[in-house]
A and B are shown apart, each in its own frame.
Chain A
Amino acid sequence: MAEIAAPRGADWVEPPAGSPAVPSRRWWLRRPPIIPTLPMIMIGIIFFAAIFASVIAPFSPTKNHLFDSFTAPWGWEGGSSTYILGTDFLGRDIFSRIIHGARISLTIAGLVILIGASVGTLVGIVAGYFGGLLDSILMRIADLVLGIPLILVAIVLVTVTGASVGNIIFIVSAFVWPRYARIIRSETLSLREQDFVMLARVAGISSRRIMLRHILPNVVSTLIVLCTLQVGQVVLLESALSFLGVGIPPPKPSWGIMVADGRTNLTSGWWISLTPGLAIVVLVVSFNLVGDWLRDRLDPRLQRY
């Protein structure tokens, strides 16, 4: 990500003191900045764990070891090195469940953002480019969706149809797309008035081609920033829904469910909710920090989001 050059347009904002705007020579002698290096390393580790979950995890995430239930983490009284982070009330290895949980969280976040960003970008570009009645209708729909408290819709949907991965992806994507649509629309509105789009139109290029070849490439940096900032929010929303029992169906190792498991056993196993919650915090902090950093570099006008 670091190679992407910041655009130095009229809206170029001087980076805050401390962040190197011009790479000096002998860069290998400079200490890399803590942000975004550290969060990027954390994200790398989490991705690595998610991809190679079945190789790294010492146990199956759903296998019960009932004789070893409530084993404390390694180093604490009653802990053993077999289960580094301890076991839960069914004797399932928490370390293995966290690693497999990373896979689930990232897969869901990835799919949700893919769907939300695609639908939102399409709607935003079409609405902004054509304007008029179509624009009004599409934006009213986006506003309407933003006005619905989606956690409640999730609760109703799950009570009626039961918890499933499909349901949670649907619900969270529905929550995500209007944000993309609004921001991409306002970007498109200003791009539409620029000379290169005007000239393309004069040259007789079809609207579809203008949107695809001339407008889309110009909103990519905004999209990158938005997607990065959304990962944390989506992970938080998904884990909250799973915690409430209306997200991912157990026994799948979702971080939200693992925290919920620990809630009923607070006195006998403090470690059960501690580490899965920390995993969420580390993932969300890392993505938020990288997102903020990217925003400052690529799109400082996005401040408010």
Chain B
Amino acid sequence: MGNFILGRLLQAVLTLFVVSLFIFLLVRLTGDPKQVLLPIEASIEQYAQLEKALGLDDPLPEQYVRWVGKMLVGDFGTSSSRQIAVSQLLRERFPNTLMLAGSGFFLAIAVGLPLGVLSAAHRGRGTDVSARVFAILGQSMPSFWLGIMLLMLFPVRLGVLPAGGKSGWTSIILPAVTLGWFSTASLLRLTRSTMMETLSSDYVKLARIKGLSERTVIWKHAFKNAALPVLTLASLLLFGLITGTIIAETVFAWPGMGSLVLSAVVNRDFVVVQALVIVISAMYIFGNLTVDILYAFLNPRIRYG
């Protein structure tokens, strides 16, 4: 187990290294980094200042180590469009993104799992058919379009629920649904297929023969065993949630890190873009690591695979 964790940890660090190297080299090799890092209207003094701060004349490895070193101690530079430290922006935005991603995740678990189980238990009947339609739609609807349609229906047409921003607990409903539907759908489909496999196994038959109630058979005996493969989906869910927060935040002007990245792209505020990309990537990569370790912990076969 120790070796497995160590190996996966090394791989996570390596992945983060590749991402940071990609960003670093992209800025320095595709032209003048000063032009990328500074806004168009920057003064000559700002150019000189930046050149000194980055040490652009030093060899590339030295520059890279300095850049990473600064980020490790929490110095991400200063936003050129907002004139405040990026680390402060991060502190403001991070909890909001976490809250939104958490709600999306909660929605997926709270709706996807039980619907998947019910769908398998009532195979071919009304519940199953409607759950599958719900899932197919969820996997095929672009979330940005879903968000806009919700926006048009609720705040614009019906005048209920806030249209954007963060104000009171109702403002999270629409972004969370936009974000969570896709993950809910994937979770539902996987739960359904693993449940169906489990329900046709011998020990479930035995439990039925013993005369246990259908509810006990499904939830106590079958569901517990079907839940493990569902964990494999967690990393995919994570990907959907990361990509999804960027979109949901943009559509609903939710003040999180995703909408910050996009507005920084529009303002050509590259310092903010690169800092956020590194931070979100790190979250994603270490989230994946946690899922892998958790899965290996629960399923010993993986560790020696």
Contacts and interface: CB of A to CB of B under 8 A. Distances in A.
Interface of A: 17, 140, 143-144, 147-149, 151-153, 155-161, 232, 236, 239-240, 243-246, 256, 259-260, 262-263, 266-267, 270, 273-274, 276-277, 280-281, 284-285, 288-289, 303-304
B284 to A, nearest CB: 5
Nearest to A149: B284
25 contacts: A140-B11, A144-B15, A147-B284, A149-B242, A152-B19, A153-B277, A155-B261, A155-B265, A156-B274, A157-B26, A160-B27, A160-B30, A161-B30, A239-B142, A240-B142, A240-B247, A243-B247, A244-B247, A246-B265, A256-B144, A259-B145, A280-B145, A284-B139, A285-B137, A303-B193
A266 to B, nearest CB: 6
Contacts of B119: none
A135 to B, nearest CB: 14
Contact of B11 (A143, A232, A263): A143
B148 A259 contact: yes
B1 interface: no
Name the residue among A147, A158, A303 with the largest chain B CB count within 10 angstroms.
Answer: A147
Which of A144, A153, A156 is the most central at the interface, judged by chain B CB atoms within 10 Å of its CB?
A156
A270 B239 contact: no
A289 B251 CA distance: 28
Interface of B: prevailing SS: helix
A151 B239 CA distance: 10
B190 to A, nearest CB: 7
Count chain B CB atoms within 10 A of each CB in A148, A157, A239 and give the residue with the most. Answer: A148
B23 A156 contact: yes
B90 interface: no
Contact of A144 (B11, B143, B250, B281): B11
Interface of B: 11-12, 14-15, 18-19, 22-23, 26-27, 30, 36, 124, 136-137, 139-145, 148-149, 151-152, 156, 190, 193, 229, 232, 239, 242-243, 246-247, 250-251, 261-262, 265-266, 268, 270, 273-274, 277, 280-281, 284-285, 288
Given A244-B250, A277-B142, A288 B242 contact: no
B15 A148 contact: yes
Contacts of B251: 263
A304 B27 CA distance: 39
Contacts of B18: 144, 148
A259 B14 contact: no
Contacts of A289: 136
B266 A245 contact: yes
Given A266-B152, A281-B142, A284-B142, 7 more contacts: A140-B11, A147-B285, A148-B285, A149-B280, A153-B22, A155-B261, A270-B152
Query: Which 6 residue pairs are nearest across A and B when measured between Cβ atoms?
Result: A277-B145, A284-B140, A285-B140, A147-B15, A152-B277, A243-B144
A160 B232 CA distance: 35
B148 A262 contact: yes
Contact of A288 (B11, B136, B143): B136
